[in-house]
Structures are given as structure tokens and as C-alpha cells.
Amino acid sequence: MIAFHNPLHHRHAPVHEFFRGERVPCFEKPDRAQYVEDALRERGHDLLAPELDSQPVLAQVHTPRYLAFLQSAWSQWLALSPANAAVQPFPSVWPVRTLRSDVEPDNFVARLGLYSMDNGTPMAEGTWAAAKAGADAAASAADRVARGARAAFCCTRPPGHHAGPDFMGGYCFLNNAAVAAQWLRNQGVPRVALLDVDYHHGNGTQSIFYRRSDVLFISIHGDPCTEYPFYLGHADETGEGEGAGFNLNLPLPAGTSAAEWFDALEQACARIAQYGAGALVVSLGLDAFEGDPISRFALTSADFTRLGGRLAGLGLPTVFVLEGGYAAAELGTNAVNVLEGFETQEAVQ
């Protein structure tokens, strides 16, 4: 399969995140992408460098002031003190209900809170460079598909699906899958289906497309009553305005078996077929894996091959975008299994 990698992903390398008030090592670490790249090469898939600038499409899915903040955040952080070069910034205050988010405070940490949904998305010196190159890789994969490729894979980190129009969160900064979907729309695909199979609800992607009918968003994920991101992802969120009826959430309890997970996948596939999509974008999180350290579904490595085969059965030009998945050593096998399940099923059709 055509696969784009992110040559700058390693420049996003924060050291720690918070868990129950303590600093713990980051789960979203550079070796995740390295394992996937290694597995792709071992199994004969070539890796291409990004070949397009995603900037115009980023401006369609994120707000100007958020993009401006993100691009300059590290230099603003250093301007507070040169010693900050060795310190990770974290937000500590957020504009929740009744507080104003229309006025940007001058204080850097207050602005960081304005543009964040959690304190679980640490930044480092190269975060913007890595995130931007990842969005370029997603645009490049989408463009190949728009120009006739059956499928393409974007192997990148940091992930993207928790990043909304004007905020970061859940290890995500720029919404790569939204970039891919918007790129396909700009290239003339009238209706794009975006299926998110990451363990965590793709709240950022949902919010970006919630009032639109030209991108159908479907997510299979851990029930937000108990699982991150907690404040979005319920079954009664079905879209608004023009987008009414074009958002489908399939939350499943923590501990759900693979058999039940594949039942939900059938519901998702039925909705995609009914929608009449011209292309499919898959937010390919691999944290539904039984061995994932922060998630509680039970898919095996073989189940990821089955997932790829089922998606091929939709018969749509498909862009796969890597999202979460924290069992790093198994991430390569699980990602390539999806792609090979897709290609094998494609070959027998």
C-alpha cells in the first residue's frame, strides 16, 4: 500500500504526562511510529515523504488564532525564561462554562488553557514541526486517493482526532484525519465517510464536522461515561443543523469483546453504505488491542486483519490515518495487519 511517513515525528518528544497527580512517562512516544515504519518496511511497503503543504486545508479545519498560537507556542514559552527550554509547559486553568473564551489573555499559561481540553497533551520544542509534517503526510495520502489510488496510509504521530477547531487534547494538536477528509472534499469528492476506530471517541473530528452533511462521522469507542474524553461521544449526539443525522456514535462498555466490537463495525459499515460515500477516511487507532496499556477492549492482532478486510468490502477509495495505540512493540504488526487485510480482501473481490 502507498504509505507516507512523517520524517519530523521524532521532534515531538515530550518526556512526561500526569497520572493521578504524579508525572509519569509519556505513553505517546516516538518509538510508536518507529515500530510501524519498521513493520511496513519489513513487509515490503515503501515509505514516502510528504509531498504537499496542508496549510490551506488546516485553515479550513482549525481557526486562525489556534494555528497562530500553536505555531509560536514554544517561542512564547522560551520568551518567559530561557530555562524553559528544559521544562514542559502545562495548562492549569481553563475557560469552562460562564468564562470568556473570546478574549485571548496575555499570560502564556492562560492562553495554553484557552487552547487545550486537558493537561494531558504535553508539548516540546519540535511539536509544531512534527504536527505540521504529519498534516502534510495526511494531505499527501488523501491526494493520492483523490487522484485514483485504491488506498493510502499516513503513518504519523502525534495523533490528531482529539484536536478540535481551536484546541489540542488527548496527545493531539492538528486533526490529520479531518485534513484528509477536507482534502478529498476540495478535490471534488461530494461525500466523505470518516470512520474512527480508535478506542477513544474522536471528539475533535466530531466537532469539526458536526454541522456538516458532506462528511459523515462515525466512531466506535469506549463509553465516555467511564473512558477518555468523557465529555463527548454519547449515542444521542447525531449532528446539528445541516449536519443533523450525519454523526453516529457507537459507544461500547469497557471490557467489550471482539465479537461485540465487530457487531458495532457492521452497524458502522451499513451506515456508510447507505450514505453513498465517494471515499472513506479511517482514523486508525490501534488501542482497541487487547494488550493496550491504557484501554479496555479486546481485539487481537488477527482481528486487525479482519478489520482491514471488512473495510475493503465497502469498496471505497480509502485513506488510513494512524491515531492512538500504546502497546508500542505490537503497533507495527497491528497496523500492517489492517493494511494487508484490506489488500488481501481487495485482491479476492
CB of 222 to ligand SP5, least distance (A): 10
Q: Measure the CA–CA gap between 190 and 184, rounded to whole angstroms.
A: 8
Q: Does 287 bind Zn ion (CB under 5 A)?
A: yes
**Residue 14 interaction partner, one of ligand SP5, Zn ion, none, beta carbon < 5-8 Å per kind:** none
- Site for ligand SP5 (CB under 6 A): how many residues? 15
Residues whose CB is less than 8 angstroms from the CB of residue 213 and which lie 6 or more positions away in sequence, other chains included: 239, 242, 243, 245, 246
Closest residue to Zn ion using C-beta atoms: 324
Q: Does 228 bind ligand SP5 (CB under 6 A)?
A: yes
- Contacting ligand SP5 within 278-297 (CB under 6 A): 285, 287, 294
C-alpha cell at 4: 507516507
Are the beta carbons of 342 and 4 closer than 8 angstroms?
A: no
Residue of 9, 162, 200, 221 marked catalytic: 162
Q: Does 159 bind ligand SP5 (CB under 6 A)?
A: yes
Residue among 185 and 295 whose Cβ is closer to ligand SP5: 295
Residue whose C-alpha is closest to residue 326's, from 108, 35, 97: 35
- Contacting ligand SP5 within 305-344 (CB under 6 A): 323-324
Are the beta carbons of 147 and 126 closer than 8 angstroms?
A: no
Other CB atoms within 10 Å distance of the CB of residue 80: 13
C-alpha cell at 244: 443533523
CB of 259 to Zn ion, least distance (A): 21
Q: Are strands 22-25 and 318-322 parallel, antiparallel or unpaired?
A: unpaired
**Residue 303 interaction partner, one of ligand SP5, Zn ion, none, beta carbon < 5-8 Å per kind:** none
Q: Which residues are 151's β-sheet partners?
A: 318
Q: Measure the CA–CA gap between 272 and 198, rounded to whole angstroms.
A: 17
Q: Does 196 bind Zn ion (CB under 5 A)?
A: no
Cα angle: 76, vertex 81, 83; to 5 degrees? 120
Residue among 130 and 316 whose Cβ is closer to ligand SP5: 130
Q: Does 330 bind Zn ion (CB under 5 A)?
A: no
Q: Does 229 bind Zn ion (CB under 5 A)?
A: no
Q: Does 19 bind ligand SP5 (CB under 6 A)?
A: yes
200, 201, 212, 221: which one contacts ligand SP5 (CB under 6 A)? 200
50, 89, 91, 120: which one contacts ligand SP5 (CB under 6 A)? 120
Burial of 190 (0-12, 13-18, 19+ CB in 10 A): exposed
128, 167, 171, 183: which one contacts ligand SP5 (CB under 6 A)? 171
Residue among 265 and 322 whose Cβ is closer to ligand SP5: 322
CB of 201 to ligand SP5, least distance (A): 10
Helix (H) or strand (E) holding 16: strand 16-19
Q: Measure the CA–CA gap between 138 and 179, rounded to whole angstroms.
A: 7
DSSP for residue 289 = B
Contact region for Zn ion (CB under 5 A) — 45-53, 109-117, 191-199, 300-308? 191-199
Residue among 144 and 162 whose Cβ is closer to Zn ion: 162
Q: Are strands 247-252 and 279-284 parallel, antiparallel or unpaired?
A: unpaired
Q: DSSP string of 56-78? A: HHHHHHS-HHHHHHHHHHHHHHH
Please indicate whether residue 162 is annotated as part of the active site.
yes
Q: Which residues bind ligand SP5 (CB under 6 A)?
A: 19, 120, 159, 162, 170-172, 198, 200, 228, 285, 287, 294, 323-324
Catalytic residues: 162
Residues that bind Zn ion (CB under 5 A): 198-200, 285, 287, 324
